[in-house]
């Protein structure tokens, strides 16, 4: 089910055969991706979207006329994020963000992938760090009693929180099933206006612990 609908069409020009011939193959091959990305970003800006953040795979845009969501533009396919979106749609939970289906946008010779995501708020670094470390501890040791994982006292946001435990359970299941690493660091923890914690992007292909072949 789609949570959001795109309400615009991008007018993205394509390279003509004449322009293609006028430039060497080497220049085309090395610069086309960057040129196409600039074209796409310029189109987004012309529609009122402005950049508010970026990562290894994506750029995030906001729009002052669209206060309830932001736009995530993937510069290349991100299998971990795509699988997280599938998880969210199959197992809704308040600790996951609302995310639209993936939309394909073409610019020149390149494909770009975009999502609309509910607009969330940042948390203080110390709080997000403490929360993310606690969540990763639980996922890495899911079969152990919570009280043993936190001998100095279970954090209040975790205590008797069955819905959060359900959210972490499915994050672990999908990590093991598809071979993604869990990567819930401080920048991947945000919150709604009502204070709800939200895990924004929990999977990585590159680092932190991998649950695909370990544990139960």
- What is the reported pLDDT for 184? 93
- What is the reported pLDDT for 145? 92
Please tell me the pTM assigned to this model: 0.78
Distances (CA, A) of 68 to 28, 82, 192: 39, 21, 11
- What is the reported pLDDT for 15? 40
- Closest alpha carbon to 14 in 141, 126, 146, 110: 110
For residues 36 and 197, give the distance between their C-alpha atoms in angstroms, rounded to a whole number.
36
CB 140 within 8 A of CB 175: no
Domains of the chain: 17-118 (3.30.200.20), 125-204 (no CATH)
Residue labelled with tokens 């649950």: 211
CB 112 within 8 A of CB 40: yes
3-state secondary structure at position 47: coil
- What is the reported pLDDT for 12? 40
Give the containing element (helix H, strand E) for 174: helix 162-178
- Closest alpha carbon to 195 in 127, 103, 102, 101: 127
Residue labelled with tokens 């598809």: 178
CB 90 within 8 A of CB 156: no
Sign of the CA dihedral 14, 20, 23, 27? Answer: positive
CB 211 within 8 A of CB 140: yes
Provide the residue-wise pLDDT of the chain in tens; the chain has 216 residues. 234 444 444 444 444 454 445 444 434 444 555 567 777 788 888 888 899 988 777 889 999 988 899 999 887 788 899 999 999 999 999 999 999 888 887 776 777 888 999 999 999 999 999 999 999 999 999 889 999 999 999 999 999 999 999 999 999 999 999 999 999 988 899 999 999 999 999 998 754 444 444 444
- What is the reported pLDDT for 103? 85
3-state secondary structure at position 9: coil
């Amino acid at each position: 089910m789609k949570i959001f609908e795109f309400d615009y069409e991008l007018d993205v020009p394509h390279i003509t055969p004449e322009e293609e011939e006028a430039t060497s193959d080497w220049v085309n091959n090395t610069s086309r991706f960057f040129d196409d990305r600039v074209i796409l970003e310029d189109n987004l800006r012309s529609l009122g979207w402005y950049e508010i953040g970026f990562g290894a795979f994506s750029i995030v845009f906001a729009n002052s006329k669209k206060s309830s969501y932001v736009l995530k533009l993937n510069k290349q396919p991100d299998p971990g994020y795509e699988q997280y979106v599938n998880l969210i749609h199959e197992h809704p939970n308040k600790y996951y963000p609302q995310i639209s289906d993936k939309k394909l946008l073409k610019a020149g010779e390149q494909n770009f992938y975009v999502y609309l995501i509910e607009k969330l708020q940042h948390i203080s670094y110390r709080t997000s760090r403490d929360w993310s470390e606690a969540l990763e501890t639980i996922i890495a040791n899911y079969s152990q009693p919570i009280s043993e994982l936190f001998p100095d006292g279970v954090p209040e946001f975790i205590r008797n929180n069955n819905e959060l435990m359900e959210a972490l359970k499915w994050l672990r299941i999908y990590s093991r099933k598809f071979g993604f690493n869990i990567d819930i660091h401080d920048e991947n923890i945000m919150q709604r206006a009502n204070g709800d914690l939200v895990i924004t992007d929990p999977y990585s292909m590159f680092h932190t612990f991998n649950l695909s072949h370990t544990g139960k």
